[in-house]
Amino acid sequence: MSKPESHSILLEVQDLVINFALRGGDLTALNGISFSLNQGERLGLVGESGAGKSVAGFSIINLISKPGYIAKGKVLFQGREISALSFEQLRRIRGNGINMVFQDPMMTLNPVLTIGIQMVETIKAHQEISDQEAAAMAVDKLRQVHIPSPEKRLTQYPHEFSGGMRQRIIIAIALLNNPQLIIADEPTTALDVTIQAEIMDLFLELCSQQNMGLILITHDLAVVSETTEKMAVMYAGRIVEQGPTDEVIADPQHPYTQGLIAALPQTEHRGTRLNQIPGTMPILTSIPPGCSFHPRCTKARDICSVYTPELAPIQARERLVACHLLQP
């Protein structure tokens, strides 16, 4: 592995297509998404359920299980293509280079093993060190995620921790082998707001301390707005808008992004009707032709139901929007 520069490209996803082979033919869950992430950068992937944001996260470290497969495109991590690696080569990257944090901390920890055993196991899978050294490392990481009296905690089982503490432990485990990138799939959805604030603060602190990249997959625009530098909005398996978080939030261009932001309750308009997007997200088996958002779009024209708009730059080069209305 080459030593990365401080602003070099950490991860690049190029035109990735994920299909699920089913009896009736292939279902396309992810339809040609591309994005890149620099060292130490934080990206938010936003969308409603069924948009394909979790599949996008899983596909980066090739966690797509059968009947899903990568039909097209590639994932480059530190300049190296990882979408075609063998299981063993991939396993090294999964622990050391990229790590994942999932939504439900109770489902990710083994309930019948102590935290210590699970952490030592993870360290020893990637490093040749003794149990004592590994345990010392585990204590160190637990301290880093602000768990009080970590030495005592190592001998406890997952059920002895609260939801917020468990998520901290998961993050500590993800940090064990000093990854360059963490993919967090709805890390705070199961938690209360005060705990959510703590966990997001922790992510920010760790990212800046270790110059670590973060891909935050969530449905919560406000969380993305507070924590990330770049964001991509997904709809029915595609990215419909992408750009610097502040700009996308302040001045959304795609009608779907505009609708999502307008649907959030705003302090200024208390008690009035919210702006709603009519209808629901299409299911994968019946994605409409053309722009998949056109049946719900108030600005749709004839062309929208025929041709699929490309993700194209508008204004600055960093802003990409897939909408016919914004393209000549």
User: Which residues are at the interface with another protein (CB under 8 A)?
Assistant: 48-49, 162, 164-165, 192-198, 200-201, 204, 219-223, 225-227, 246, 249-250, 259-261, 263-267, 269-271, 273-278, 280-281
Distance CA 70, CA 73 (A): 7
Distance CA 228, CA 246 (A): 9
CB of 112 to another protein, least distance (A): 23
CB of 119 to another protein, least distance (A): 21
CB of 72 to another protein, least distance (A): 28
Q: How would you classify residue 218: left for phi > 0, otherwise alpha for psi between -120 and 50, otherwise beta?
A: beta
CB of 200 to another protein, least distance (A): 6
Q: In residues, how long is the chain? A: 328
CB of 165 to another protein, least distance (A): 7
Terminal Cα-to-Cα distance of the chain (whole angstroms): 43
When the beta carbons of 84 and 263 are compared against another protein, the nearer one is: 263
Q: Tokens 């905690």: give the residue.
A: 153
When the beta carbons of 95 and 150 are compared against another protein, the nearer one is: 150
When the beta carbons of 22 and 263 are compared against another protein, the nearer one is: 263
CB of 151 to another protein, least distance (A): 19
Residue 207 corresponds to which tokens in the numbers above? 């990212």
When the beta carbons of 73 and 282 are compared against another protein, the nearer one is: 282
When the beta carbons of 165 and 182 are compared against another protein, the nearer one is: 165
When the beta carbons of 37 and 261 are compared against another protein, the nearer one is: 261
